[in-house]
Chains A and B, each alone.
Chain A
Amino acid sequence: MSQRIPIIKIRENLIVTFISDIDDLTALKLQKDLTQKIHEENISGVKITGVLLDLTILDMVDSFLGRLISNIAQSATTMNANTVVIGIHPAVAITLVEMGLELKGAHTALNVEHAFELLDDLKAESEEIVE
């Protein structure tokens, strides 16, 4: 029953749009695919610096999905890429907060445009540190 969520590369960023009614296996596969993709792009010479996760379609984020998003963000960080989450529904945000769940390691932005600006800023920051 599990599906595969496409990962789209735009310049140095990877974009993932979550599907509705995502099952656990599909979510776990995405985590693996995404880290693998960062690695593949990096060795092929395109340095991935940003990951954009679009959650617009998700009508619920439980502790499993919350942890998965955190894990994606944290593995991306260890591979020197920043993660920005967009499209969290207000009801989902309220539920996450009341459950005491945090999307650790992930930044948030209002929309795709903001997300790209943020990713550019974060990239510039990390480059400054390197210098």
Chain B
Amino acid sequence: MNNQRFFEKYAIDIEFDLVKIRQVVRKIAKLMQFDIVAQTKLVTAVSELTRNVFDYVGKGEVILEEVGDSLKRGLKITVIDNGSGIPDINHAMSGGYSTSKGLGKGLIGTKKLMDEFSIQSEVGKGTEVVIVKWAV
């Protein structure tokens, strides 16, 4: 049996999509019975990641999935874009790019809020960030 309970996709296209995606994440986090602090962290994290996509690439996609097994449940959020990619992720994650709009700061902050964080980026192809928060 598949443990995945839902799988939803949302497009990042216009500025207001950022607000809409935040609302959806809040609603799902509530339904999954995350406490108010975890809900807020999830909404904040998704806000950071979707804004990076909107500001630097313009368009992208967010995938929300419920993951886990009988022992633990979590919300996995994947944020993907087909932009020019981040040339040096380590540099970005060490705060090196936190100049103009604060790409690095948003990513570092997001990592701190989540239980799991991974980022993959290929120059010319795009970036994929995956975050997971486990419900207690």
Contacts and interface: CB of A to CB of B under 8 A. Distances in A.
B40 A99 contact: no
A40 interface: no
A62 interface: yes
Interface residues of B, number: 26
Interface string B42-79: 01100110010000000000000000000000000000
Contacts of A39: none
Contacts, number: 68
Contact of A21 (B23, B36, B44): B23
B109 A99 contact: yes
A95 B40 CA distance: 7
B37 interface: yes
Contacts of A60: 22, 40, 43-44, 47
Q: Which 4 pairs between the two chains have the least Cβ-Cβ distance?
A: A99-B109, A91-B40, A62-B47, A1-B16
Interface of B: 14-16, 18-19, 22-23, 26, 36-37, 39-41, 43-44, 47-48, 51, 102, 105-106, 108-110, 112-113
